Chains A and B, each alone.
Chain A
């Protein structure tokens, strides 16, 4: 059993013009010093602060790192998003999923997936793992490059922080939390509409659809934070946009192609014709459709 620990605080009246607490850490361990000076630490810390406190930065707090003001992570979503709310006890949960809004650039993997906030603090960033349901069976599909436009945001709010589904370090999700388990099922319900739409937009040969096409379907960019606090809404599926034709390409043994040509008594037919002939045969005889 770990011994309880604590420190004394001397209470004093607030001094006008002097706010806050200064924490000075001295005599750092050698390994900590090395980590701080490894060249990546500061940029990683900056990014982490920018993402973790994106809900607060610029609104109610200013954070500086070595005197440089940190900007909040900007991520926007198309106004055609799906959202859902539910409440369990004192905890409210708002789930939003849609297509990320990008300005001219392609959809980036680092901004795709689920972002989870507890009382405004981000505890998961762009998660595409089984933790947020990307398992491929019974939940969301396993994440693939075609899902890069997916942006989902989950907002938990409670007057009692103990009720929120975060870990004691407030930097991760407590998977055993009942509200998290329930939210995860709602995330599947809301998120599947978006993954289903994205699946239908991309052909099987991984030919990507241009971002402007998706932007048209997703609507005008809005802040995810304002989307997260808006009332429940539905993602409107653009019906006519799905591709009608896809290209089929696969490798086949030359000997097998020759064998089919010989069987059909049509030497020189070629791989393309053999492919089309066998495809049509299957469509007609197995599926029962005329080509």
Chain B
């Protein structure tokens, strides 16, 4: 049994991850405006010990039926101990077992937020999501997007062999070049997309739109793909709303969350500069004089609502 990474990663200080969470919540908020997501929904995630996503889902979407899955039996007691709300059930189960046995008829939002590298278990979990997701439901999958430990020091051709052996149906079009470190996140993204497409291809009651595609890095590259299973009629209004409110996310390729590492004073300048209609405002000019470029301002504008602020208090 692989041990939980929450044992050694400080999950409370990961700005890119928190930005991603907020983007995802806003994506769900777009659906809630059309009634697709409401407080009757259920949320299934992997809360670890911090339950950040659970906090956000409850606060901003009003959902109060939640299940957190913790596969590591040694870590499960800590997960239960830290569970913030009574309406969250913490279960010591793998995703595979949970999905096989889940008979809940409510519309569910699944966020399978793995810290593992992509493997046959994860693609099979996506296949199972294809049988479980109800119309109006959401499914998101996050995976480690760098070469996993077993492949880290391997040559590219050996990496390709591993993919062909373990992810055969999804590795047909992969080449040795796709195994380069720099291209690895894109390769992982392509396999996730193919897995989602395959999982929902037999569904006749709706279409799965995997339009939430995000890549981010705090310490390592991670990729998230997900979306909504909706009927053709319901999807157009929701997709229109997403394209209006989150135009940078719905572009058919992963949106890369930038790391800004700004001081509080710089951030105040950015806040003012990107919200002014004048692109050559004094604040924008000040930022340029500090070495920031137009691309930095554009990226900050995308993420203005989603970047977290961290404060340290010294006792």
The interface of chain A, by Cβ under 8 A from chain B, is: 82, 88, 135-141, 178, 181-182, 184-186, 188-190, 192-193, 196, 232, 234-235, 237, 286, 288
Distance A196 CA – B101 CA, assembled complex (angstroms): 14
| B127 in contact with A196 (CB, 8 Å) | no
Distance A196 CA – B202 CA, assembled complex (angstroms): 24
Q: How far is the CB of A136 from chain B (nearest CB, A)?
A: 6
Beyond the given pairs A137-B120, A137-B171, A184-B202, 13 more chain A to chain B contacts, judged by CB atoms under 8 angstroms and listed by A's residue number, are A82-B100, A135-B168, A137-B167, A138-B167, A182-B202, A185-B130, A188-B124, A188-B127, A193-B97, A196-B96, A232-B103, A234-B100, A235-B101
Interface positions, chain B 118-171, Cβ under 8 Å from A, are: 120, 123-124, 126-128, 130-132, 149, 165-171
| B167 in contact with A192 (CB, 8 Å) | no
| B171 in contact with A193 (CB, 8 Å) | no
The residue of chain B having its C-beta at the shortest distance from the C-beta of A189 within the complex is B128
Type the 1/0 row for B193-230, where 1 means its CB is closer than 8 Å to any CB of A.
00100110111100000000000000000000000000
- Interface residue from B96, B128, B165, B203 paired with A136 (Cβ < 8 Å): B165
Chain A residues closer than 8 Å to B203, beta-carbon distance: 182
Distance A136 CA – B119 CA, assembled complex (angstroms): 10
Q: Report the contact-size class of chain B (Cβ under 8 Å from the partner).
A: 20 to 34
| B96 in contact with A185 (CB, 8 Å) | no
The residue of chain A having its C-beta at the shortest distance from the C-beta of B163 within the complex is A137
| B100 in contact with A137 (CB, 8 Å) | no
A-B contact pairs, 23 of them (CB 8 A): A82-B100, A135-B169, A136-B165, A137-B123, A137-B167, A138-B123, A138-B126, A138-B169, A138-B170, A139-B124, A178-B202, A178-B204, A181-B201, A185-B128, A188-B128, A189-B99, A189-B127, A189-B128, A189-B132, A196-B94, A196-B97, A234-B101, A237-B97
Distance A288 CA – B128 CA, assembled complex (angstroms): 33
The interface of chain B, by Cβ under 8 A from chain A, is: 8, 94, 96-97, 99-101, 103, 120, 123-124, 126-128, 130-132, 149, 165-171, 195, 198-199, 201-204
- Interface residue from B8, B97, B195 paired with A138 (Cβ < 8 Å): B195
| A192 in contact with B198 (CB, 8 Å) | no
The residue of chain A having its C-beta at the shortest distance from the C-beta of B93 within the complex is A237
Chain A residues closer than 8 Å to B96, beta-carbon distance: 192-193, 196
Identify the 8 closest CB pairs spanning chains A and B, nearest first: A138-B123, A181-B202, A137-B167, A182-B202, A189-B128, A234-B101, A137-B168, A193-B100
Chain A residues closer than 8 Å to B201, beta-carbon distance: 181
| A192 in contact with B128 (CB, 8 Å) | yes
Distance A276 CA – B261 CA, assembled complex (angstroms): 44
Distance A219 CA – B127 CA, assembled complex (angstroms): 29
Q: How far is the CB of A258 from chain B (nearest CB, A)?
A: 24
Chain A residues closer than 8 Å to B171, beta-carbon distance: 137
The residue of chain B having its C-beta at the shortest distance from the C-beta of A182 within the complex is B202
Distance A138 CA – B97 CA, assembled complex (angstroms): 15
Distance A282 CA – B132 CA, assembled complex (angstroms): 40
Distance A139 CA – B202 CA, assembled complex (angstroms): 14
Chain B residues closer than 8 Å to A137, beta-carbon distance: 120, 123, 166-171
Q: How far is the CB of A144 from chain B (nearest CB, A)?
A: 13
